[in-house]
Chains A and B, each alone.
Chain A
Amino acid sequence: EVQLVESGGGLIQPGGSLRLSCAASGFTVSSNYMSWIRQAPGKGLEWVSVIYSGGGTYYADSVKGRFTISRDISKNTLYLQMNSLRAEDTAVYYCVRDGYKEWGQGTLVTVSS
């Protein structure tokens, strides 16, 4: 059974950093492309970043230069390093397997002073 479990969210001050993790089971993270999607409170879904099986990465313009997606093959885990956080980054962050069939439960990031 495929499972995605995010962690690492929390309350952080503007300008701060946070690293989200997504532990995967039932498949190999490095064999798929993996994405981070976020959802601001009461809002819709926004694609944030993707890492391809070959290692290529892409980012939404809104996070480019501040966020970094990566993976640890030995831990079968996806990460999202978030730096220079802003209030508008406040959202539930989901990790998603390619095809968007499997989603994690999400982790809430709140950027506020």
Chain B
Amino acid sequence: DVVMTQSPLSLPVTLGQPASISCRSSRSLVYSDGNTYLNWFHQRPGQSPRRLIYKVSDRDSGVPDRFSGSGSGTDFTLKISRVEAEDVGVYYCMQGTHWPQTFGQGTKVEIK
């Protein structure tokens, strides 16, 4: 199985400041069709995960533009340009290129 490794696992942030989460895969996530199926999710306590980003950098509708995804091959990053209070929770990366689809361990974002 493809191992997804996130860092850091805990991220204290200051409101209004940027934040960045790294996700590395044990194999390239480029699929045979040329796409890279790397998603990012946000989960608040007691809620279902919400997809923020798909195919590395495509933002879902309704997701604020302060969220951006980047990367290629095996290295990926989720950036929040200016953290807001509603951004707290756990962020997960997930690869959909190889079966079984696998998730990172999660990064807990909290306000300092």
Pick the interface stretch among B16-24, B71-79, B93-101. Answer: B93-101
For B90, the closest partner residue in chain A by CB is: A44
For B100, the closest partner residue in chain A by CB is: A47
Chain A residue numbers with a CB within 8 Å of B106 are 44-45
A45-B92 contact in complex given A100-B39, A101-B60, C-beta closer than 8 Å:
yes
Q: Is B102 an interface residue (CB 8 A)?
A: yes
1/0 per position for B27-40, CB-CB distance to A under 8 A?
00000000000010
Contact of A105 among B41, B48, B60, B102 (CB under 8 A): B48
For B47, the closest partner residue in chain A by CB is: A105
Contact of B92 among A35, A44, A101, A103 (CB under 8 A): A44
Q: Give the residues from 90 to 113 in chain A that come closer than 8 angstroms, CB to CB, to chain B.
A: 94, 99-101, 103-106
The reply to whether B54 and A58 contact each other, CB–CB distance below 8 Å, is: no
The reply to whether B103 and A47 contact each other, CB–CB distance below 8 Å, is: yes
The reply to whether A45 and B94 contact each other, CB–CB distance below 8 Å, is: yes
- Interface size counted on chain B using CB atoms at 8 A: 19
Q: Give the residues from 43 to 61 in chain A that come closer than 8 angstroms, CB to CB, to chain B.
A: 44-47, 58, 60
Contact of A104 among B48, B99, B105 (CB under 8 A): B48
**Smallest Cβ distance from A21 to chain B, in angstroms?**
16
Chain B residue numbers with a CB within 8 Å of A101 are 51, 54, 60
For B49, the closest partner residue in chain A by CB is: A103
Complexed CA–CA distance, A104 and B49 (Å): 9
Contact of B96 among A58, A60, A100 (CB under 8 A): A100
Known: A44-B105, A99-B54, A100-B96. 11 other contacts (CB 8 A): A44-B103, A44-B104, A45-B41, A45-B106, A47-B100, A47-B102, A58-B100, A100-B39, A100-B51, A101-B60, A105-B48
11 chain-A/chain-B pairs, Cβ below 8 angstroms: A44-B104, A45-B49, A47-B100, A58-B100, A99-B54, A100-B41, A100-B51, A100-B94, A100-B96, A104-B48, A105-B48
